């Protein structure tokens, strides 16, 4: 069964547009997470950024307390955030690159160039019983490096696939890159998640990628929820994942 992890960052983005710096406000990302769980989502993803532009510490603490599925904490390999994760003990950590000027995470980790620090952080998290995923481009060198780091998971960055989806030739090229990366990761003993730019239109093509465990989807699902509500948006997304054979 292909699992759905719902990224609730964009719910917090809307709240922060009006209530930044205040101890509460609407919409509440934790309430949204609980509604997604009730609709059948298999997990909740939240990115605690260093600049706290959307998700706040209090949100993640409440998520850890309230949700009953699986909390995936996206985070940079930054000392403050690593220390927070070690206290929080999420169900899994996904290490991602982070740049202050970006609107959202725009690329994968350069694991090849950061092998030693990523291995050190992975070991600290593993020693605390927290599984680790690395958010990487579907590149052979990055997949191999992820295995060297010792992470249990990778999350394939599907941004290029989504960006080029309207061009049939480019779509096929990016799909083949994802297929090759998933096969390589599986052969190396890594479990494979995927995310970034996935939506109700391109998921059918992504089903060709083997060995997928979970898809993490945020923007498209929250956008759809504006018109049909979160429950319906999650239900529709789950229907698109049904029947995946891996």
**Among 10, 42, 47, 54, which one carries the catalytic annotation?**
47
- Please give the CATH architecture assigned to the domain spanning 3-241: Alpha-Beta Barrel (3.20)
Q: What is the rounded distance in angstroms from the CA atom of residue 213 to the CA atom of residue 44?
A: 14
Establish whether the linkage from the previous residue to 27 is cis, with ω within 30° of 0. yes
Q: What is the rounded distance in angstroms from the CA atom of residue 16 to the CA atom of residue 203?
A: 30
What per-residue confidence (pLDDT) applies to 245?
Answer: 87
Instruction: Give me the residue spans of the domains in the chain.
Output: 3-241
Please state, rounded to an integer, the average pLDDT across all residues of the chain. Answer: 96
The C-alpha angle with vertex 206 and arms to 156 and 69, in degrees rounded to 5, equals 65
Tell me which residue of 215, 111, 245, 89 sits closest to 155, measured CA to CA: 215
* Per-residue pLDDT band at 103 (split at 50, 70, 90): very low
Residue 134 C-beta-side C-alpha neighbours within 13 Å:
30
Is 47 considered catalytic here? yes
- List the alpha helices (DSSP H) in 73-208: 79-88, 115-127, 140-149, 159-163, 168-187, 203-206
Residue 100 has pLDDT above 80, yes or no: no
* Distances 190 to 145, 146, 149, 177, 193 between C-alpha atoms, Å: 11, 8, 11, 17, 10
Tell me which residue of 22, 21, 34, 19 sits closest to 8, measured CA to CA: 34
What per-residue confidence (pLDDT) applies to 61?
Answer: 98
Residue 211 has pLDDT above 50, yes or no: yes
Give the percent of the chain with pLDDT over 70: 97
Q: What is the rounded distance in angstroms from the CA atom of residue 198 to the CA atom of residue 158?
A: 7
Q: What is the rounded distance in angstroms from the CA atom of residue 143 to the CA atom of residue 82?
A: 22
Whether the CB-CB separation of 211 and 186 falls below 8 Å is answered with: yes
**Among 16, 37, 74, 98, which one carries the catalytic annotation?**
74
Residue 73, number of CB atoms within 10 A of its CB: 25
Is 98 considered catalytic here? no
**Range in 13-22, 50-59, 93-102, 229-238 with the lowest mean pLDDT:** 93-102
**Among 42, 54, 157, 196, which one carries the catalytic annotation?**
196
Q: What is the rounded distance in angstroms from the CA atom of residue 47 to the CA atom of residue 201?
A: 24
What per-residue confidence (pLDDT) applies to 11?
Answer: 98
What is the crossing angle of helices 79-88 and 115-127, to 10°? 20
Q: What is the rounded distance in angstroms from the CA atom of residue 8 to the CA atom of residue 41?
A: 12
What per-residue confidence (pLDDT) applies to 101?
Answer: 52
Is 102 considered catalytic here? no
- The helix (H) or strand (E) run that includes residue 31 is helix 29-38
């Amino acid at each position: 069964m292909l699992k759905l992890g719902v990224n609730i960052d964009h719910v917090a983005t809307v709240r922060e547009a009006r209530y930044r710096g205040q101890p509460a406000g609407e919409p509440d990302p934790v309430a949204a997470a609980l509604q997604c769980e009730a609709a059948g989502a298999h997990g909740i993803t939240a990115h605690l950024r260093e600049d706290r532009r959307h998700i706040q510490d209090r949100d993640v603490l409440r998520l850890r307390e309230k949700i009953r599925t699986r909390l995936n904490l996206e985070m940079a390999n930054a000392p403050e955030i690593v220390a927070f994760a070690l206290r929080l003990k999420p169900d899994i950590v996904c290490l991602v690159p982070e740049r202050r000027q970006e609107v959202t995470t725009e690329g994968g980790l350069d694991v090849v160039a950061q092998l030693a620090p990523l291995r050190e952080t992975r070991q600290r998290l593993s020693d605390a019983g927290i599984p680790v995923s690395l958010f990487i481009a579907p590149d052979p060198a990055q997949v191999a490096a992820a295995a060297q780091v010792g992470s249990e998971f990778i999350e394939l960055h599907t941004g290029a696939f989504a960006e080029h989806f309207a061009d049939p030739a480019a779509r096929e090229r990016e799909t083949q890159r994802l297929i090759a990366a998933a096969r390589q990761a599986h052969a190396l003993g890594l479990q494979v998640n995927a995310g970034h730019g996935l939506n109700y239109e391109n998921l059918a093509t992504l089903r060709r990628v083997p060995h997928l465990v979970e898809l993490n989807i945020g923007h498209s699902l929250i956008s759809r929820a504006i018109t049909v509500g979160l429950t319906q948006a999650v239900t529709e997304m789950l229907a698109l994942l049904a029947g995946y054979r891996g």
